[in-house]
């Protein structure tokens, strides 16, 4: 099985650097982006099994970034990361395509489990798309 490829999008450079190293130590291939626009550009160049996206970022916030990510890759498995979750935020993020809402501080074991689940969903959706194309 190939290595899970994850994109972390968060403007807090120290936080994302530490998180990236912790995920790499667990065998994941990790790319980082420090803004929504940078994350969108990276997602257009590389296929990711999961994206961990911060909600509160200056400029393009998490919801705007999520919307743009999903427009480019509807099967993308995006998990919204927030320290200020509200029901309204969760509902809107889910409506836009987020597969999960994770709260800071982040438990690494929980994140690893969510990434594995995201990869399984991504692979399943890709296989279903191929199956449908073969039937047509």
The owner of tokens 């936080």 is 15
* Cα dihedral 36→40→46→52 (10° resolution): 40
Q: What six digits make up the tokens of 51? A: 């994206």
Q: How many domains does the chain have?
A: 1
Give the tens place of pLDDT for each residue, 31-81: 999 999 999 999 999 989 899 999 989 999 999 999 999 998 878 899 999
For the beta sheet containing 100-103, the strands, ordered from the edge strand earlier in sequence to the opposite edge, are 29-33, 5-9, 50-54, 78-82, 100-103
Q: pLDDT by residue (tens digit) across 79-104?
A: 999 887 678 888 888 899 899 998 88
User: What DSSP string describes 6-45?
Assistant: EEEE-S-HHHHHHHHHHHHHTT-EEEEESSHHHHHHHHHH
* CATH classification at residue 65: 3.40.50.2300
Q: What 3-state class would DSSP assign to 80?
A: strand
Sorting pLDDT into bands at 50, 70 and 90, what band is 125? confident
Question: Which whole-number Å values give the CA distances from 32 to 89, 93, 95, 131, in the listed order?
Answer: 23, 21, 25, 33
Which domain, by its residues, includes 114?
Answer: 5-135
């Amino acid at each position: 099985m190939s290595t899970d490829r994850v994109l972390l999008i968060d403007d807090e450079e120290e936080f994302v650097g530490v998180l990236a190293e912790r995920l790499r130590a667990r065998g994941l291939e990790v790319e980082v982006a420090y803004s929504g626009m940078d994350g969108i550009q990276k997602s257009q160049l590389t296929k990711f099994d999961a994206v961990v996206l911060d909600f509160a970022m200056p400029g393009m916030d998490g919801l705007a970034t999520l919307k743009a990510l999903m427009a480019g890759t509807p099967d993308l498995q995006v998990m919204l990361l927030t320290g200020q979750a509200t029901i309204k935020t969760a509902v809107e993020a889910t409506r836009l395509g987020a597969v999960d809402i994770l709260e800071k501080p982040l438990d690494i074991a929980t994140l690893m489990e969510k990434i594995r689940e995201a990869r399984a969903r991504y692979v399943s959706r890709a296989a279903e798309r191929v199956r449908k194309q073969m039937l047509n």
